[in-house]
Amino acid sequence: MIYTSLSAFTSSGEVDIADGFEVAVEGQALVAGIAAGRFGAAPSAGVATEKFIGFSWVHTGMYAFSEPSTVKAEEFIVPTGGVVVLARTPVASTVFAWNKTTGAAIVSAVAGRNVTLTGADAEQVVVSYRFMTTAVEQQYIKGDNHPGGYAGNKLRQVGLAKSGVIYTNHFDTAADWSANVANVRLGANGMLVASGAGPVIDAYVMSLPSVDYPYLGLQFSAAA
């Protein structure tokens, strides 16, 4: 999902979808590919040879995709003992905590909604994570889906944001983005990650997830 109110693209267009692939969410990182002599875009797979060409952008009146999961950020003053309780149950391996004042990462252990933060008593802490959404929440967040699914996957075409500012929820919430401002990499399924074999893209982090805006904000420029 792209948070359009904060995003601003300086270059965009349409691109064919590569044979054998489909776009699953808005804000997926797309890469160039040629299959059977035909150029097309595909979600990144996180391999070193990929060429980033932009983000999927579905600028339609109705929402094109379901959002089976989304991101959330919560703030706490950590109590004695270091245990805070999240509002939702996080997806496994998606939790990251940091000191809001210093930006320092905090070691965390997760058990259900309970997160134990080591050495953080009385600190103001931000915890970001991904959680699964219900059907009602999906409709509330983005409205009704296109009947029959996203037409672009049938027409084999999708909108492409090539440069500008993007706020996306399709990123690794467990990464320490304050320590990887210029280390934005391509991961599997078109997700942005801070480690792995995928190439670093021409982008830098300009906004970390917050309670009000739990998205990752980037200034980016893709291949011309």
Q: Is the pTM of this model over 0.75?
A: yes
The H or E element that residue 152 is part of is helix 151-155
pLDDT band at 63 (very low <50, low <70, confident <90, very high): low
Asked if 102 and 125 count as a contact pair (C-beta separation under 8 A), the reply is no
Burial of 178 (0-12, 13-18, 19+ CB in 10 A): middle
pLDDT beyond 80 at 65: no
Going from N- to C-terminal start, the domains of the chain cover: 8-66+135-216, 70-132
User: What is the third-level CATH fold of 8-66+135-216?
Assistant: Virus Head Decoration Protein; Chain: A, (2.40.300)
* Residue-averaged pLDDT of the chain: 91
